[in-house]
Amino acid sequence: MEDLSRFCCLNERCLAYGSRGAGNLSVCGYTNPAKTHRQLYCRLCKARFSERKGTVFYRSKMPEEKVIAILEHVKEGNGMRQTGRLLKTKEDTVIRYVRKAGQHAQLAHRELVAFSPSNPRVATGREVGLRVQKTPALHAGGTGARARGRLLGSHRL
Ligand SMILES: [Zn+2]
């Protein structure tokens, strides 16, 4: 029995869409001749999809190590053209993989922060505090350093 607990159905119209470990998935084949990438089947909606769907490797013909190398170079601060030159890849290809990785990271971030408890001391709380304080300071006719001091004061809280 294969461990598919990290996967979920990716058909948005399926009842089990996004539910991991729901027991609706099984392996029904492979998507590459080397049989290293599994094809998954959802018994609820009958959808078949690659286990790599939704990741940066989906429909990629480039070796995984090279995709990872591209992303590592960019993560370390190299530009798109520089990364392409270092890895002997076209700049457009580097940009395409960085975009794909960005979309995947955004979705993963949304899923992870959805369950974070609200904390009044985090950055968003401070931003709200600043906006609330800023308006009365401007209406009160405060000028120059005094108004700025008040704004900076609230910003530090
Ligand atoms: Zn499904």
How far apart CA 51 and CA 61 sit, in angstroms, is 15
Cα(157) to ligand 1 centroid in Å equals 48
**pLDDT tens-digit map of 85-131:** 999 999 999 999 999 999 888 888 887 787 666 666 655 544 444 44
Long-range CB contact pairs, 102-106, < 8 A, 24+: 104/54, 104/55, 104/56
Strand, helix or coil at 41? strand
Ligand 1 geometric centre to CA of 19 (Å): 9
Question: Ligand 1 centroid vs 25 CA: distance in angstroms?
Answer: 8
pLDDT of residue 119: 65
Compute, in angstroms, the gap from residue 150 CA to the centroid of ligand 1.
55
Predicted pLDDT of residue 104: 86
- Residue at token pair 């940066």: 56
**Mean local confidence (pLDDT), 49-73:** 93
